[in-house]
Amino acid sequence: MKRIGVLVSGRGSNFEALAESVASGRIPNSEIGIVISNRDGAPGIQRAEARGIKTRVIPSKGLEREIYDRQVAAVLNESKVDLICLAGYMRLLSPFFVAAFPNRILNIHPSLLPSFPGLESQRQALEYGVKFAGCTVHFVDENLDAGPIVLQAEVPVLDQDTEATLSEKILKEEHRIYSEAVKIVLEGKFKIEGRRVLRTN
């Protein structure tokens, strides 16, 4: 049985999609061991509680980055997680945290990286005028939205799209590929060569 730790700051729809995939067996032989939020009152925490999943709020306000990350890492280690999934976790991770879980942290980002890292990626894509947008699941390193890419999905940008409609279409793909990527990684059916994540059997 593999254990997943999920870090959220807000809405928690990607957490919910992962929880649903675990429950339905789309991500087999696994459980969500803990959901941690840096924000009190994050809807993601309420969603986890509603599913009977263990939660912890660890407020980050005023704490130096590494001091904070050490607290989060301690809780994740206590919960014996095999994989950490960032799901709308609005914090940069310290080099300490990244080194503590090598190739064991995944993030979902709402753009086709390396285009449009950072915040409001869907709006950035729309304003830039790209004809395809999408989302990316990647391993996390010390740089923002930058580690090796596990999966991507594309979404056409239509003339009538607004930030809201585009975000909605991308989110649907996020929910699909995040579960798929977690399955690949938990089953160990991959190898990393340089920046490339290659599938193995």
- Shortest gap between Cβ of 134 and ligand GRF (angstroms)? 11
Select 28 or 118, whichever has its Cβ closest to ligand GRF.
118
Select 59 or 189, whichever has its Cβ closest to ligand GRF.
59
Q: What angle do CA 59, 64, 67 make, to 5 degrees?
A: 75
How far is CA 196 from its chain centroid?
A: 19
d(CA 93, CA 141): 8
> Which of the residues 109, 138, 169, 175 is marked catalytic?
109
Considering only residues 3, 11, 172, 176, which one is a binding residue for ligand GRF as defined by CB under 6 A?
11
Backbone angles phi, psi at 128, to 5 degrees: -70, -30
21 binds ligand GRF (CB under 6 A): no
Catalytic residue status for 109: yes
Contact present, 83 and 2 (Cβ < 8 Å): yes
d(CA 75, CA 84): 12
- Shortest gap between Cβ of 43 and ligand GRF (angstroms)? 8
Residue 171, helix vs strand vs coil: helix
174 binds ligand GRF (CB under 6 A): yes
Q: Could you list the residues that contact ligand GRF (CB under 6 A)?
A: 8, 10-14, 44, 87-88, 108-110, 171, 174
- Active site amino acids: 109
